[in-house]
């Protein structure tokens, strides 16, 4: 837009900023049509339009500016422009990143002049690269300004109240918000502008909060969703009005900057209109099962946090327990032999037993194993247990007419033993594994063993997200995948 505007001015053609913006958008759309669905496109043009219209509005209402100091005028103009950008982009931020912030107007007081310093210094470096005595200090100045801009974003870490996560707004709410904003800005009739301003204020409250979000209806039967979280595991069990999140995904070895809970699991739950969990089960403490749990504790406030065997020296699990305790969530340690109602289903805890020695580290064989039964349907949720534990549990399983197995340990060859498969003969097998993972999951021999007992196999690395749902009487099961639909 700037190139179009300045080029027009250079040939004495005074194009209005709105026309230059529209032409720039049209050219970019023609060159790369898919960019229009990229959040960067909406953020860039939204911010530009907010600045153009905000500047016009500020000039119109500020008067001639006489008697106002330059610093005060710049400060008021910067804050006004930042507020205009925030008002326009809050729904985009909520929809694209499930996050809103009020820190922009404050941060921009530093970011705008720092960016000017960084840009001018960069130009000096580019033009003076043959004169190190000039380019070196300019480069240092530009780098310092750029680092200061990045560091200023830590304000939201020091003051968390300036930024919070929200469910993505619905299309209807977005249309209402921007429709009211356009009427408020461009309609001359005062009564209509006041009405639109009221609607805009209400829509803004709904965008930045969970108020008015439609809640899911009570579910007759049982629904199990296996989210596609790469080489990790995260499942949602629903029945009646009860919702249990089983594990939260994560990187296999921990670390990394990508938060699977914030970027995948939480948006997937919000897409199902889930705003609160009844319980969060951490089957065991491996990072690919609990890596995203912090965000789920924060955003969905489960009433209970379920665990198996505690490993006192395991720092990530201890941190999660402390977060849950501070938030008033009740910790429950599940043990073999427990049985309780969950919506219209019944849950039996098959594993682990009460420990008789303290664990120095997390073990796959300490995973919490649940059997969920409803009518003619039984689901076996196995965590990461090995074939040895499977052989111990095989005689305890319910002989339901429809049997679904959540394959243990992402399809590792050490699990899905012949003893379990031959005795229980699941008709449906669910595998959570990352596409092209370096572990070779699921192992070819596991696939062969499942196929030999006639199990239909669904895998997140090929099928994407997998949703299994019974009929209201729990007599039949349908399976829906992201990539296909099969019954």
pLDDT digits (tens), the chain, 487 positions: 778 888 888 888 877 888 888 889 999 999 999 988 888 999 999 988 888 888 777 777 665 556 567 777 777 777 888 888 889 999 999 888 888 888 888 888 888 889 989 999 999 999 998 899 999 999 999 999 999 999 988 887 778 778 888 888 888 999 999 999 999 988 889 999 999 999 999 999 999 886 656 677 889 999 999 999 999 999 999 999 999 999 999 988 777 778 899 889 999 998 888 989 999 999 999 999 999 999 999 989 999 999 999 999 999 999 999 999 999 999 999 999 999 999 999 999 999 999 999 999 999 999 999 999 999 999 999 999 999 999 999 999 999 999 999 999 999 999 999 999 999 999 999 999 999 999 999 999 999 999 999 999 999 999 999 999 999 999 999 999 998 754 4
Note the pLDDT of residue 487. 47
Would 91 be classed as within a structural domain? yes
Identify whether the C-beta of residue 225 lies closer than 8 Å to the C-beta of residue 465: yes
In terms of domains, do 23 and 108 share one? yes
As for how many domains the chain has, the answer is 2
Identify whether the C-beta of residue 424 lies closer than 8 Å to the C-beta of residue 380: yes
In terms of domains, do 113 and 21 share one? yes
Would 30 be classed as within a structural domain? yes
Directed axis angle between helix 171-186 and helix 70-97, to 10°? 160
CA distances from 438 to 185, 204, 252, 433, 442 (A): 55, 45, 11, 11, 11
In terms of domains, do 161 and 280 share one? no
Which residue segment(s) compose the domain that 67 sits in?
Answer: 2-207
Would 43 be classed as within a structural domain? yes
For residues 177, 179, 184 and 189, what is the CA-based torsion angle, rounded to 10 degrees? -140
Note the pLDDT of residue 90. 92
In terms of domains, do 229 and 170 share one? no
Would 283 be classed as within a structural domain? yes
Would 257 be classed as within a structural domain? yes
Q: Is 259 exposed, middle or buried (0-12, 13-18, 19+ CB in 10 A)?
A: middle
Which residue bears the tokens 């310093």?
Answer: 117
Note the pLDDT of residue 343. 95
In terms of domains, do 347 and 245 share one? yes
In terms of domains, do 257 and 129 share one? no
In terms of domains, do 151 and 112 share one? yes
Q: What secondary structure does DSSP assign to 411-443, as a single string?
A: G-TTSS-HHHHHHH--SEEEE---TT-TT-PSP
Would 212 be classed as within a structural domain? no
Taking only Cα atoms into account, the Rg of the chain, rounded to an integer number of angstroms, comes to 28
d(CA 91, CA 40): 14
For residues 44, 47, 52 and 54, what is the CA-based torsion angle, rounded to 10 degrees? 180
In terms of domains, do 232 and 193 share one? no
In terms of domains, do 123 and 64 share one? yes
Indicate the helix (H) or strand (E) that contains 155: helix 155-158
CA angle 163, 194, 77 (to 5 degrees): 50
CA distances from 481 to 43, 408, 462, 477 (A): 32, 20, 10, 13
Of 160, 180, 207, the one marking the end of a domain is 207
Q: For residues 30-40, b (16+ Cβ closer than 10 Å) or e, as one string?
A: eeeeeeeeeee
CA distances from 256 to 247, 291, 293 (A): 18, 10, 15
d(CA 23, CA 1): 8
- Residue 330: helix, strand or coil by DSSP? strand
Would 214 be classed as within a structural domain? no
Whole-model pTM: value is 0.79
In terms of domains, do 197 and 241 share one? no
- Residue 154: helix, strand or coil by DSSP? coil
In terms of domains, do 35 and 83 share one? yes
CATH number, position 305: 3.60.15.10
Of 176, 207, 238, the one marking the end of a domain is 207
CA angle 292, 296, 300 (to 5 degrees): 170
In terms of domains, do 203 and 223 share one? no
Would 394 be classed as within a structural domain? yes
Of 178, 207, 236, the one marking the end of a domain is 207
């Amino acid at each position: 837009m700037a190139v179009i505007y300045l080029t027009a001015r250079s040939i004495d053609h005074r194009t209005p900023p709105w026309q230059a913006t529209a032409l720039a958008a049209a050219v970019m759309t023609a060159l790369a049509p898919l960019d229009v669905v990229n959040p960067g496109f909406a953020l860039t043009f939204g911010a530009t339009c907010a600045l153009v219209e905000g500047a016009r509005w500020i000039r119109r209402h500020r008067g001639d500016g006489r008697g106002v100091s330059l610093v005060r005028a710049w400060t008021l103009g910067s804050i006004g422009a930042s507020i205009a950008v925030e008002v326009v982009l809050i729904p985009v931020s909520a929809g694209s990143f499930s996050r809103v912030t009020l820190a922009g107007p404050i941060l921009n007081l530093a970011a705008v002049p720092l960016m000017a310093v960084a840009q001018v210094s960069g130009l000096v470096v580019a033009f003076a690269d043959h004169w190190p005595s000039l380019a070196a200090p300019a480069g240092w100045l530009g780098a310092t300004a750029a680092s200061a801009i990045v560091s200023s974003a830590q304000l939201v870490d020091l003051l968390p109240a300036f930024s919070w996560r929200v469910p993505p707004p619905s299309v209807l709410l977005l249309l209402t918000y921007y429709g009211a904003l356009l009427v408020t800005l461009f309609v001359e009739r005062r009564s209509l502008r006041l009405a639109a301003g009221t609607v805009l204020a209400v829509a803004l409250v709904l965008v930045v909060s969970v108020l008015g979000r439609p809640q899911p209806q009570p579910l007759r039967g049982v629904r199990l969703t296996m989210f596609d979280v790469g080489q990790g595991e995260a499942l949602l069990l629903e029945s009646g009005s009860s919702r249990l999140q089983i594990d939260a995904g994560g990187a296999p070895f921990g670390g990394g900057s990508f938060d699977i809970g914030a970027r995948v699991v939480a948006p997937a739950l919000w897409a199902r209109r889930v705003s609160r969990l009844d319980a969060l089960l951490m089957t065991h403490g491996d990072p690919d099962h609990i890596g995203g749990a912090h965000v789920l504790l924060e955003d969905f406030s489960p009433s209970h946090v379920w665990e198996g065997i505690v490993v006192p020296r395991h720092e990530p699990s201890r941190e999660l327990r402390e977060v849950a305790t501070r938030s008033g969530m009740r910790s429950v340690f599940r043990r073999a032999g427990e049985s309780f109602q969950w919506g219209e289903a019944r849950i039996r805890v098959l594993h682990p037993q009460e420990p008789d020695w303290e664990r120095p580290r997390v073990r796959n064989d300490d995973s919490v194993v649940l059997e969920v039964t409803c009518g003619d349907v039984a689901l076996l949720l196995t965590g990461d247990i090995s074939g040895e534990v499977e052989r111990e549990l095989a005689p305890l399983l319910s002989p339901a007419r429809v049997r679904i197995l959540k394959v243990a340990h992402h399809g590792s060859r050490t699990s899905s033993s012949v003893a379990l498969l031959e005795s229980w003969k699941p008709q449906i097998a669910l595998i959570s594994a990352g596409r092209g993972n370096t572990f070779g999951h699921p192992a070819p021999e596991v696939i062969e063993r499942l196929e030999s007992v006639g199990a239909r196999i669904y895998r997140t690395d090929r099928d994407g997200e997998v949703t299994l749902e019974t009929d209201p009487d729990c007599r039949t099961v349908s399976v829906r995948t992201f990539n296909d639909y099969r019954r």
